Amino acid sequence: MTAPHVSSAKLAEPTVKIISIPTSLSGGEFSNHAGATNDAEHRKHSFGAPGRGPALVILDPQLTITTPDSVWLSTGIRAVDHCTEGMCALNSTPGSDADAAKGLRLLIPGLLRCKANPQDLEARLSCQLGVIEAMKVAVVHGVHMGASHGIGHQLGPLGVGHGETSCILLPAVCRYNASMNGEQQRKVLEVLWSQGTIRALLEEKGLVEGKAELAEILEAVVQALGLPQTLKDVSVGSEKLESLAEASLKDRCLPTNPRPLKEKKQVMEILERVVG
């Protein structure tokens, strides 16, 4: 579905307050923005409501126990995506970087612990608290998201889960952007190597601090969580790449990617890295 263009000045703020009790890590409860797919063109559109989102958000890790592991972990990587693209954005600030770094320190170790023991409520709460920091990056600080979000928005209409899009695209996008935002990526690397749980995983995978690039580290984390890493893993064939690239070029996040994506061949360069 899609909505007609209506000026926000003509929309009244809802009078019924919303209470949100999230059971995934996508973070939508901390924003008044949303997305919906136009089924006729298989393209996702973004919407912003007047006023704010939920008036109250209740975080209860016990209530997330029945969330399928694939959903919990993949949406957690979506939050990691917010932090990573936030720190790698060219308009990041010291304040946004601090919040993103805090989010990464909570999220990735928490996700690894959840993978090892899905009943670990402390780890689940750490992930939930990490989402708050992740969402502050874009919602509070207004930092630009990039191609992982932009292409991911348009991968959703092809039947790929919101979090799964980040699992597949974030490493490839970081690799594509490295020539433009290498200094920002090094800040993320410093945060990740400083965490004992993450360091242990990376050393087990044979990665070396100072040599491994950010894309490799993110790939190692996604692999450790048992999540999809290629389009083939989510049943998206190569015949869909060109239409996916065309839809992505219309997404609001591609112009704000550190290495701006203006032509289909640029988007295809990223997609061809993750075909599988």
> Tell me: the pLDDT tens digits for 213-234?
999 999 999 999 999 999 999 9
Per-residue pLDDT, 54: 85
* Residue range(s) defining the domain that contains residue 128: 65-273
Higher pLDDT, 42 or 264: 264
Give the chain's domain count: 1
d(CA 136, CA 48): 16
What's the mean pLDDT when you consider all of the chain? Answer: 91
Other Cβ atoms less than 10 A from the Cβ of 56: the count is: 10
Contact between 8 and 50 (Cβ < 8 Å): yes
Specify the 3-state DSSP secondary structure of 96: helix
CATH number for the domain harbouring residue 259: 1.20.1090.10
Per-residue pLDDT, 55: 85
Domain assignment present for residue 94? The answer is yes
Domain assignment present for residue 5? The answer is no
pTM score = 0.91
Task: Say how many CA atoms lie within 13 Å of 134 toward its Cβ.
Answer: 28
Domain assignment present for residue 157? The answer is yes
Q: How confident is the model at residue 42 (pLDDT cuts 50, 70, 90)?
A: low
> Tell me: the pLDDT tens digits for 100-117?
999 999 999 999 999 999
Taking residues 37-54, what's their average pLDDT?
64
d(CA 11, CA 14): 9
Higher pLDDT, 153 or 31: 153
Domain assignment present for residue 91? The answer is yes
Domain assignment present for residue 201? The answer is yes
Q: Which of 28-32, 91-95, 228-232 has the lowest mean pLDDT?
A: 28-32
Residue 5: is its pLDDT beyond 50? no
Nearest in space to 132 (alpha carbons), one of 87, 110, 99, 166? 99
Domain assignment present for residue 28? The answer is no
Phi, psi (degrees; rounded to nearest 5) at 55: -80, -25
> Tell me: the pLDDT tens digits for 236-263?
999 999 999 999 999 999 999 999 999 9
Residue 36: is its pLDDT beyond 80? no
| Cβ-based neighbours of 103, under 8 Å, separated by 6 or more | 79, 80, 82, 83, 130, 131, 132, 133, 134, 136, 137
> Tell me: the pLDDT tens digits for 114-140?
999 999 999 999 999 999 999 999 888
Taking residues 158-180, what's their average pLDDT?
96
Domain assignment present for residue 133? The answer is yes
Domain assignment present for residue 169? The answer is yes
Contact between 97 and 154 (Cβ < 8 Å): no
